[in-house]
Structure formats: C-alpha cells, structure tokens
Amino acid sequence: MQQLTNPHEYPGKLIVVEGIDGSGKSTQAFLLQQWLQSKGLRVFFTEWNSSLLVKSTTKQAKKKNRLTPTTFSLLHCTDFADRLMYRVIPPLKAGMIVIADRYAFTAFARDSARGVEPQWVRQLYSFAIKPDIAFYFRVPVDISLARISSARAQLKYYEAGMDTGLSKDINECFRLFQGEVIRQYDLMTPEFGLQVMDATETIDVQQKRVRAIAQEMLADYHPDGNNRKQTRAREGGSHV
C-alpha cells in the first residue's frame, strides 16, 4: 500500500471526496470545483463508476441482480484502474487539479461491508496513488436516508445493500449496510489520514472549511508545476 501512503510525484494536485450516499459530498465537490475555477485554476472532475470500459457491463449486471460481492469489487476496480490511467494521472501530469468524487476508499468501505476480505481489497487497489487531500463527509445513516428519500421515490437495490441479505426491508437494509460502511470509513480514517467533515452542518459552513483546507494544501502549488513555496514566503502572499 506504499502508493496510497507516500506522496505522488506529479505536479498537479488530487482532491478526493468520500462518504456514504446522501452525505452531500458531490455538492461539496461541485462547489469546490467552481471556486477553484473562479481563481483561474485548471480543474478536472472525475466520478466513481464512470469508465466506459465497464459501465454498460456493470449496469446490465445490476439490473439482473447478478453481482456477487467479489464480482462487484473486481468490476469497480477495473473501472477505477481505467479512470486512474486515463482520467486522473494525465491531468496531474499536466499540472491540473483533479477532483475525484469517490476513490479507492469507497471500495475499501463498501466491499468490506459486503464481506470481502479488507486486505484483499487493499491489495487489489495497491496501484492507486495517494490523494493530496481526501475529505470524508460523515453523516448519520438516518439523515442520509431522509435526504435520499426526499430526493427520489425509492432506494436503489445495491445502494441499500439488498444483495447482502441483511434485511428484506429495503429501508432497514440500507440502515444496516450503510451503518457498516460508516464503520469501515471510521476504521480507515487514521490509516489514510482522511479529513473528517461534519456533513450535518450547513452547506455553506462545510464549504468554508473545505476551501480553507484546500487553500492550505495549495499554498505551494503553481499551475506550471514549479514549487513556489519559497517565493510565496518571501512575498507573503498566496496563489489561491
């Protein structure tokens, strides 16, 4: 797991947002992207399960409810590998800021919650590079469920973890499954240095903290890839 614990070598910056469904992480990622772009910075956005290489296969398998936990894990890892190679590393090499809505930590949490051996999943993603920041938007299960229920008519089969057989009631299954996902996130927080955010706070309050943390991380960042830390210290200014 050295790749995920040692800083990457690219001139760009990788920012990751994590959290269970209904945590509000995607909203925070979008607002951060808009803010960074307003500063004139080049930002590239990528999201989980978006690789065309396996997207259609995953979608068809989900419709038929044929995904075992291991198959689910392997498909998502294939998706992740394709996105990392073609949608994350190239922008980082070009000195861009990449915002990833979900990263390897999603697999660590979800797959483990489905009963897959945690160390096996970590080994599967051993090629993943370390983010410069990984935000974890932590929210209680009941608040997450209420947010999702207010946005759409029903929960999704795999979102609720119905494949785990924890409960025949979809709402109860969601609570049990996502509760275990939260437990897995909590366990890995010190392991990977996740920045825990209180996702029950208002959107504005969360975003202010996100921007403050991002700005501190970007203090020595410059789009051309040069380290400007010494120059910034002399000038007493910030580039963000």
The string of pLDDT tens digits covering residues 145-195 is 999 999 988 999 999 999 999 999 999 999 999 999 999 999 999 999 999
Within 10 A of 238 (CB to CB), how many other CB atoms are there? 12
Mean pLDDT (whole number) for 207-234: 75
Q: Give pTM, 2 decimals.
A: 0.88
* Coil, strand or helix at 139: coil
Could you list the beta-strand ranges (E) of 88-219: 97-101, 133-138, 195-198
The helix (H) or strand (E) run that includes residue 67 is none
Mean pLDDT (whole number) for 64-86: 88
The encoded tokens of residue 144 equal 């997450």
User: Considering only 53-62, 109-118, 151-160, which range has the smallest mean pLDDT?
Assistant: 53-62
* Coil, strand or helix at 34: helix
Q: Within 13 Å and on the Cβ side, how many CA atoms surround 72?
A: 22
Task: Report which of residues 179 and 225 the model is more confident about.
Answer: 179
* The residue type at 204: D
pLDDT in tens, 6-53: 999 999 999 999 999 999 999 999 999 999 999 999 999 999 887 777
For residue 239, the model assigns a pLDDT of: 44
For residue 225, the model assigns a pLDDT of: 58
**What is the per-residue DSSP string for 147-164?**
HHHHHSSS--TTTTTGGG
* CB-based burial, 47-68: b 16+ in 10 Å, e otherwise: ebbebeebeeebeebbeeeebe
CATH architecture assignment, domain 11-226? 3-Layer(aba) Sandwich (3.40)
